[in-house]
Amino acid sequence: MPILCRPAVAVPEHVITQEQTLELARRTHADHPQLKLVLRLITNTGVRTRHLVRPIEETLTHPGFEVRNRRYEAEAKERVPAVVRRALAHAGVEPPDIDMIVYVSCTGFMMPSLTAWMINTMGFRPDTRQLPIAQLGCAAGGAAVSRAHDFCTAYPTANVLIVSCEFCSLLYQPADLGVGSLLSNGLFGDALSAAVVRGTGGTGMRLERNASHLVPDTESWISYAVRETGFHFLLDKRVPGTMRMLAPALRSLTADHGWEADGLDFLIVHAGGPRILDDLCHYLEVDDHLFRFSRATLTERGNIASSVVFDALDRFFAAGGTHQDAPGLLAGFGPGITAEMVLGRWTAAPAITPQRGAPPATAAHPNGSRGLTAP
């Protein structure tokens, strides 16, 4: 079965604390009629520090959508390669061993995707499949693992590289004064991450089953309004309570696999805020200790969108993981309202290093390009 190997994570060098965020809100929005509410909500996020791709003075300016998107592209090209190289090293593979790249990001736009640039500059094969995912927001980390799982199930000798690049600070909109927008200004942070899913060999989470669930009629609860000034983040006040609707989907997935939610040994979930984790503890009837890695990500880095699950998983690896064959779940939550969920067991087996540059078995595709042989 496919193995999700240890992720590599990086955060930018510019740091803002919760105290600085609150002071900025007081100074910038002194006349806001709901300032006390905003300050209380930011405090209650539990976010102590966040990392920004640009200094705070520059982040608070808005040079225009075009300039910001160019900055997104430049920063991604500057920062992604080092993260990718570390993820490949964790998995014991090289660029020619990768058969598909899944790139997830909701904070900038490029076409061709950054995957094309990576293939051209980082030693990946020209026939590497590309799967950019741009519109699943924070759920995209879980979706990327699921799509990698699907691909490696179809092509058992394949390897998939997942890359998440989220510069949430480039979405700051100084004219957006709604409570949800001001709260997001104190919640989201910037980060990059990458991880390899190996079809054979590897150490980490052995992927066994994945699923998606969309809560009907919640499309407007988390969304972007795309305007002349760029992406404007819209957050409905009902979002913090969505675990009441999503927890049953997590329970159903585990039940369909013959497991019980309260019998899981590890939980790596997206932490959009502390209530998400509090409610999951309640509705899944699990110990809060299982969410310690997700809480640490939220506290130290804020909501880093699709990178949250990879940051939390990296912390799990750093803590030594768990015992062989322990059952666990990885899940991302985002717009839709959508849950992207993956079940698997922990494996501490030593990595099997593939022959460098040896591609999986091939078969002719209708277009004449090299393809992978499905089982």
What angle separates helix 18-28 from helix 35-44, to the nearest 10 degrees? 170
Q: What is the CATH number of the domain that holds 272?
A: 3.40.47.10
Residues whose CB is less than 8 angstroms from the CB of residue 227 and which lie 6 or more positions away in sequence, other chains included: none
168 and 225 part of one domain:
no
41 and 182 part of one domain:
yes
The percent of residues above 90 in pLDDT, for the chain, comes to: 85
Rounded CA Rg of the chain: 20
235 and 134 part of one domain:
no
pTM (2 d.p.): 0.91
Kindly state whether residue 41 falls inside one of the protein's structural domains: yes
173 and 300 part of one domain:
no
208 and 191 part of one domain:
no
Alpha-carbon dihedral sign for residues 42, 44, 49, 52: negative
Q: How far is CA 279 from the centre of its chain?
A: 20
Type and span of the H or E element at 363? strand 362-364
Type and span of the H or E element at 87? helix 65-91
19 and 128 part of one domain:
yes
Q: What is the per-residue pLDDT for 310?
A: 98
183 and 282 part of one domain:
no
Q: What is the per-residue pLDDT for 351?
A: 43
Q: What is the per-residue pLDDT for 271?
A: 83
153 and 214 part of one domain:
no
Q: What is the per-residue pLDDT for 356?
A: 43
Kindly state whether residue 360 falls inside one of the protein's structural domains: no
Kindly state whether residue 266 falls inside one of the protein's structural domains: yes
- Is residue 284 helix, strand or coil? helix
166 and 309 part of one domain:
no
**DSSP letter (8 states) at residue 45:** T
- The residue segments making up the domain with residue 252 are 204-347
What residues in the chain have per-residue pLDDT under 50?
351-375
Query: Which residues are designated catalytic?
Result: 138
User: Domains in the chain: how many in total?
Assistant: 2
C-alpha pair distances (Å), 11 with each of 241, 255, 276, 297, 364: 29, 37, 23, 12, 41
- Distance between CA atoms of 216 and 218, rounded to whole angstroms? 6
Kindly state whether residue 362 falls inside one of the protein's structural domains: no
pLDDT in tens, 210-269: 999 999 999 999 998 999 999 999 888 898 889 999 999 999 999 999 999 999 999 999
